Amino acid sequence: MQQEGLPPPAVASFRLNLRRLLEGERGLLAEDAIRPLAELPGAEGLEPHRRAGVEALRRTAVVKLNGGLGTSMGLDRAKSLLEVRGGLSFLDLIARQVLALRREVGAAVPLLLMDSFHTAEDAARVLASYPELARHDVPLTFLQHRVPKVDATTLAPASSPSEPGLGWCPPGHGDLYTALGSSGVLDALLDAGIEYAFISNADNLGAVVDPAILGFMADEGVDFLLEAALRTAADRKGGHLCRLKEGRLALRESAQCAAEDEEAFQDVSRHHFFNTNNLWLRLPALADALAAHGGFLPLPTLVNRKTLDPRDPSSPAVYQLETAAGSAISLFERAAAVQVPRRRFSPVKNTDDLLAVRSDAYELGADWRLTLAPDRSSPPVVSLDSRFFKIIDRFEARFPWGPPSLLRCDSLTVEGDITFGARIIVEGDTVVRSERPTTIPDGTVLNGDLIL
CATH of the domain at 424: 2.160.10.10
Residues 6+ apart with CB under 8 A from 224: 279, 280, 281, 282, 285, 328, 329, 331, 332, 334, 335, 336
DSSP summary character for residue 116:
-
> What is the value of pTM for the model shown?
0.93
Buried (b) or exposed (e) across 241-276, using 16+ Cβ within 10 A? Answer: bbbeeeeebbbbbebbbeeebeeebbebeebbbbbb
* pLDDT by residue, tens only, the chain of 452 residues: 999 999 999 999 999 999 999 998 877 889 999 999 989 999 999 999 999 999 999 999 999 999 887 777 888 788 999 999 889 999 999 999 999 999 999 999 999 999 988 889 989 999 999 999 999 999 999 999 999 999 999 999 998 888 888 999 999 999 999 999 999 999 999 999 999 999 999 999 889 999 999 999 999 999 999 999 999 877 888 889 999 988 899 999 888 888 899 999 999 989 999 999 999 999 999 999 999 999 999 999 999 899 998 878 899 999 999 999 999 999 999 999 999 998 888 889 899 999 999 999 999 988 898 888 988 888 899 999 999 999 999 999 999 999 999 999 999 999 999 999 999 999 999 999 999 999 999 999 999 999 98
Is residue 202 located within the same domain as residue 141?
Answer: yes
Residue 306 among the catalytic residues:
no
Is residue 191 located within the same domain as residue 289?
Answer: yes
Q: How far is CA 109 from CA 188, 199, 356, in A?
A: 14, 13, 30
Q: What is the pLDDT of residues 83-98, one digit of tens each?
A: 998 899 999 999 999 9
Is residue 408 located within the same domain as residue 290?
Answer: no
**Residue 416 backbone zone (phi > 0: left; psi -120 to 50: alpha; other: beta):** left
Q: What CATH number is given to the structural domain containing 339?
A: 3.90.550.10
- Phi, psi of 327, rounded to the nearest 5 degrees: -70, -10
- Nearest Cα neighbor of 108 from 98, 96, 123, 93 is 98
- Nearest Cα neighbor of 251 from 216, 211, 279 is 279
Domain of residue 41, residue span: 8-344
Cα gap 248→332, rounded to integer Å = 9
What is the amino acid identity at position 200?
Answer: S
Domain final residue, candidates 344, 364, 379? 344
From 64, 237, 349, 390, active-site residue: 349
* CB 199, CB 279: distance < 8 Å: yes
What is the amino acid identity at position 41?
Answer: P
